[in-house]
Chain A
Amino acid sequence: MNIPDDLYYTENHEWGKVEDGDLRVGITDYAQEELGDIVFVDLLPEGTAVSRGDSVGTVESVKAVSEVYAPVDGEITEVNPALEDAPELVNQDPYGKAWMVVIRMTDPSAARSLMDSRAYEEYVKAEAK
């Protein structure tokens, strides 16, 4: 399972990458494996204000549907347009081409309260048991 060192993680299996005051958000390799073949990704539009824990969209596989939650407070400033026509990118490249939204953080230091890669690895191991 791939857990890059330079990202932050949530308990709902989102990842976040800090880019100045923005957080680029997607779902983790573990999450896409658990969901299986992704068939639809549906995201909130740019300009939406979100609080930590709010849904920013849904990811739907053949078997199940799963919410994607905002890891931090802020405003959605970008939405990945590629996922509408190519949802399978989530399975193929969860940390790259399949980023979902960019959130401008209300508090630029908020990402530091999330898990780092080591903590997330432990968390996933515990959850898998």
Chain B
Amino acid sequence: MRTPLFQEHVRFHGRIVDFHGWEMPVWYSGIREEHLATRTSAGIFDASHMGEIFVKGPSCVPFLERVQTRSIEKMPRHKVCYSFFLNERGGIIDDLTVYCVEPGERYMLCVNASNTGKDLAWLSSHNGEGADIDDASTGTALIALQGPDASRILNSVTGIDLDGMKAYTFACVPTGPYGELMVSKTGYTGAGGAEIFLASGHAPKLWEELTARGAVPCGLGARDTLRLEMGFPLHGNDIDETTTPLEAYLNFAVDLAKPSFIGKDALARQREEGLSRRLVGLLLEGRGVPRQGCACEKDGVRVGIVTSGSVSPVLGVGIALAYLDKGVAEGDEVDVAVRDRALKARVVHPPFTGGALCIIPKRT
């Protein structure tokens, strides 16, 4: 499958790879250069492969209250929140952002590309309330403009004042050349900026204008190293149907106070019984790169496994996210088995670097 920006990726000499069936650029000039551009000026990312699902109608609120983990009943218009679909065991079917388009009437869910089909089937099979579910993924493009210069570039192209918006809100702005833009002050890089939803047909023109004003095209590689530096989890790597939000330190996105949602009982039980493992950060002390699947040991005893690993382009050292047994504390040293070597790493609390704007709420 191709996004509406595929020709732009070709034009910018993107190296195209298969990503869950999507032909996407992994990099253009190089991961490090793109990563640093996003941290110091502005990067532009095609995220059009992600899914956009609208949930509408009189029963949309009770339905959404039951199938995702945030309380949306009092969510104000044009607010965004990070949330989960959970299974009955509290495992994460997908992580998503919920957009309140019209309170009580209309919400948009932005879900992971590789999970869109699965999510839609799951939502339909749990739709006892009879909410109106509309998959708008095909006709919707998503351009992420991230970095300290994102606001200036977006303003110069569209006149939109991102600085005047609060983090985790969005605005629907009609424009002549690009149709209606849904501009959300969110992101997956920790560098600040916006995510812009728009009709697929308008996407190439907006991409051209934003890049012409200096936004540097960035591929999936930089998207991954940027999110990893911030400690943001990636579904399929760090979180999945066998891990819970509590184990992943993502309690902030679960409202255990709301009456009921799928997976709540399992989470309440887990909270009562205590966690056996937690998702933590690892900062390598020497050379080497930890990778997904590397085993972790402490004093010769296996204590966990790496779920995402790379090298931080900002720090120049290996960093990772790993599930470690609860007995391992922040500040401890563990050995990460990278091929035939045991590399020393320090257990830390992400983010690994300070982004220009860290909008993920403090973890508790």
> A residues engaging B (CB < 8 A)?
36-37, 39-40, 42, 58, 60, 62-63, 65, 84, 91
B166, CB-defined interface residue at 8 Å: no
Per the bound structure, the CA–CA distance linking A39 and B288 in Å amounts to 9
Per the bound structure, the CA–CA distance linking A40 and B289 in Å amounts to 8
B70, CB-defined interface residue at 8 Å: no
Which of B32, B287, B339 is close to A37, meaning CB atoms less than 8 Å apart? B32
Per the bound structure, the CA–CA distance linking A58 and B289 in Å amounts to 12
B313, CB-defined interface residue at 8 Å: yes
B287 touches A62 (CB 8 A): no
Which of A36, A42, A60, A65 is close to B27, meaning CB atoms less than 8 Å apart? A36
Distance in angstroms from A56 CB to nearest chain B CB is: 14
With a cutoff of 8 Å between Cβ atoms, the chain B residues found around residue A63 in the complex are: 26, 31, 221, 310
With known contacts A62-B221, A62-B225, A63-B221, A39–B30 Cβ distance under 8 A: no
With a cutoff of 8 Å between Cβ atoms, the chain B residues found around residue A39 in the complex are: 289, 311, 316
B221 touches A36 (CB 8 A): yes
With known contacts A36-B31, A36-B221, A62–B291 Cβ distance under 8 A: no
With a cutoff of 8 Å between Cβ atoms, the chain A residues found around residue B316 in the complex are: 39
Residue pairs across A and B with Cβ atoms less than 8 A apart, 13 shown, are A36-B27, A36-B221, A37-B31, A39-B289, A39-B311, A40-B288, A42-B287, A60-B311, A62-B31, A62-B221, A62-B225, A63-B26, A63-B310
B289 touches A36 (CB 8 A): no
B19-75 interface with A by 8 A CB criterion: 26-27, 30-33
With a cutoff of 8 Å between Cβ atoms, the chain B residues found around residue A40 in the complex are: 287-289, 311
B209-260 interface with A by 8 A CB criterion: 221, 225
With known contacts A62-B225, A62-B311, A36–B291 Cβ distance under 8 A: no
Per the bound structure, the CA–CA distance linking A74 and B245 in Å amounts to 54
Distance in angstroms from B216 CB to nearest chain A CB is: 15
Per the bound structure, the CA–CA distance linking A63 and B309 in Å amounts to 9
Q: Size of chain B's interface in residues, with CB distance under 8 A? A: 17
A62 touches B288 (CB 8 A): no
Distance in angstroms from B318 CB to nearest chain A CB is: 9
Q: Count A-B pairs with CB separation below 8 Å.
A: 38
Q: Mark B97-126, 1 if CB is under 8 A from A, else 0.
A: 000000000000000000000000000000
B287 touches A65 (CB 8 A): no
Per the bound structure, the CA–CA distance linking A58 and B339 in Å amounts to 11
Per the bound structure, the CA–CA distance linking A42 and B26 in Å amounts to 25
Distance in angstroms from A25 CB to nearest chain B CB is: 21
Which of B30, B287, B288 is close to A36, meaning CB atoms less than 8 Å apart? B30
Distance in angstroms from B163 CB to nearest chain A CB is: 32
With a cutoff of 8 Å between Cβ atoms, the chain A residues found around residue B289 in the complex are: 39-40, 60, 65
Residue in chain B with minimal CB distance to A39: B311
With a cutoff of 8 Å between Cβ atoms, the chain A residues found around residue B26 in the complex are: 63
Residue in chain A with minimal CB distance to B32: A37
Q: Mark B260-278, 1 if CB is under 8 A from A, else 0.
A: 0000000000000000000
Which of A37, A42, A65, A84 is close to B291, meaning CB atoms less than 8 Å apart? A65
Per the bound structure, the CA–CA distance linking A6 and B97 in Å amounts to 56
Distance in angstroms from B312 CB to nearest chain A CB is: 10
Q: Mark B284-324, 1 if CB is under 8 A from A, else 0.
A: 00011101000000000000000000110100100000000
Distance in angstroms from B50 CB to nearest chain A CB is: 21
Per the bound structure, the CA–CA distance linking A62 and B289 in Å amounts to 8
With a cutoff of 8 Å between Cβ atoms, the chain A residues found around residue B313 in the complex are: 37, 62
Distance in angstroms from A94 CB to nearest chain B CB is: 15
Residue in chain B with minimal CB distance to A61: B31
Distance in angstroms from A30 CB to nearest chain B CB is: 13
Residue in chain A with minimal CB distance to B341: A42
